[in-house]
Amino acid sequence: MRNRRVKIRATMRELAVAALLICAVAFSSCTAGSGVAGVAEEGEVNTAAGGAANTSAESAAPYEEVGFAMGTVVNQTIYMRGENLSPAAITAEIIGILENVESKWLSWRVEDSDIAAINESAGTGVPARVADETAAYIEDALRIAEDSGGAFDPTIGKLSRLWDFDGGKNKIPDSAEIKRLAKDVGYAGIRLDGRSVLLEKASGIDLGAAGKGIGCDEIEAYLNEADGVKGALVNVGGSSILTYGEKGTGEPWKVAVLDPRDPSGFLGAISLDGTHHVSTSGDYERYFEIDGKRYHHILDPKTGYPADSGLMSVTVVAKDGADCDALSTACFVLGYEKALPLLAKYGAEGIFVDTDRRVFLTEGIRDRFTLIADGYDLEREEGTK
């Protein structure tokens, strides 16, 4: 479906309304308990109301489209350099790339995906053979699992399915069952040898915490090859965003971070020049509440229960998409203090929001982040720790 392009000039209230509009269209990512997700692009926002799109490659204005892939809304803004390729072909290609990442490599739902094949043979002693790309992304995941001391752990699959935050059961699973599955979690049980992957225990691999970032890496690789694209802003489900190249107007990219307690509004905006990846993990994305306690989808692999490190959200800015996405999950589990050395190791920046509504920034992002929401305190000094 081609979408009618509606420019919304940026008052923050209007942006919030636009985000809700997109949410209304993308009903499946906006079910009870979820927000629009962690990050939204700031600036021109289009609705998916149908009608003619801007197809002129010559136009100074960008081409914008709202689509759907990886189970979520994908907002694309493309700045073309010439007329070699139509921007509509670029956006269609990008959606195809995300669909491919999901169905061929990462999905545990799609029977013939690589991850499904690994999980099928888990605990049997017979390794699964996967695509080069899948093997490379598992290698990345293992590196971050190790560097984060297991805060990010790709063998969390069965536990994650037990909690089933997507399914809307809104029930705490049986504690004995949580304990039993948590025992099998452990990235050290993944044996990767070239393209052969063996899961020693009967756990399951879940690369969901890095999936959208992996998608953004693949998009970046494609854009590097695509002729005629000057710049692009691709927002996958709000929680992973790629800023690519430049607009050509001399202005930086603006990426807005959602307010974790009012995800229809914005906590603040990040200003970025050039190509970056931005990923957010938050306790507001998928959760339910029982007796006033929030149970959310980011699990502590050591306990099998939702991570409880005093944070509501973490946004990471990094040069690599898969790392960025996995790091945001790892940082959420680790908490602010323990996450700092991990981010430093990856040369990444972070925006942490704790449950006391304090916002902590790493040094390299202080001049690039503007707090917008009321009711939050920017802790400028403590961030220097």
Binding positions for ligand ADP, rule: CB under 6 A: 152-154, 156, 160, 206, 208-209, 212, 239, 281, 285, 297-299, 301, 325, 328-329, 333
Beta carbon nearer to ligand ADP, 48 or 307: 307
Beta carbon nearer to ligand ADP, 153 or 323: 153
Phi, psi torsion values for 161, nearest 5 degrees: -70, -35
Instruction: Categorise residue 186: left if φ over 0, alpha if ψ from -120 to 50, beta otherwise.
Output: left
Q: Minimal CB distance to Mg ion: which residue?
A: 329
Beta carbon nearer to ligand ADP, 79 or 284: 284
Helix (H, G, I), strand (E, B) or coil at 281: strand
Phi, psi torsion values for 381, nearest 5 degrees: -75, -45
Residues 372, 254: Cα–Cα separation, whole Å: 13
Residue 99 token pair: 């669909």
- State the minimum distance, in angstroms, from the CB of residue 80 to ligand ADP: 29
Q: List the strands of the sheet with 128-129, edge to edge.
A: 128-129, 196-199, 190-193
Residue 143 token pair: 């590196």
Q: Does 34 bind Mg ion (CB under 5 A)?
A: no
How far is residue 303 from each of residues 154, 210, 330, 336, measured CA to CA in Å? 15, 21, 15, 19
Per-residue binding string, Mg ion, 223-242, x by CB under 5 A, is: --------------------
Beta carbon nearer to Mg ion, 119 or 281: 281
- State the minimum distance, in angstroms, from the CB of residue 329 to Mg ion: 4
Q: Does 325 bind Mg ion (CB under 5 A)?
A: yes
Contact 128, 117 (CB under 8 A): yes
| Residue 156, binding choice from ligand ADP, Mg ion, none, Cβ under 5 to 8 Å by partner class | ligand ADP
Contact 282, 260 (CB under 8 A): yes
Beta carbon nearer to Mg ion, 144 or 365: 144
Q: Which of residues 179-218 bind Mg ion (CB under 5 A)?
A: 209
Question: How many amino acids of this chain bind Mg ion (CB under 5 A)?
Answer: 5
Beta carbon nearer to ligand ADP, 78 or 205: 205
Per-residue binding string, Mg ion, 277-316, x by CB under 5 A, is: ----x-----------------------------------
Beta carbon nearer to ligand ADP, 215 or 231: 215
| Residue 360, binding choice from Mg ion, ligand ADP, none, Cβ under 5 to 8 Å by partner class | none
Residues 330, 314: Cα–Cα separation, whole Å: 9
Instruction: Categorise residue 243: left if φ over 0, alpha if ψ from -120 to 50, beta otherwise.
Output: beta
Q: Does 361 bind Mg ion (CB under 5 A)?
A: no
- Closest alpha carbon to 380 in 364, 360, 352, 365: 360
- State the minimum distance, in angstroms, from the CB of residue 370 to ligand ADP: 23
Helix (H, G, I), strand (E, B) or coil at 162: helix
| Residue 160, binding choice from ligand ADP, Mg ion, none, Cβ under 5 to 8 Å by partner class | ligand ADP
Which residues lie across from 256 on neighbouring strands?
40, 269
Beta carbon nearer to ligand ADP, 43 or 211: 211
Q: Which chain residues interact with Mg ion by CB under 5 A?
A: 209, 281, 325, 328-329
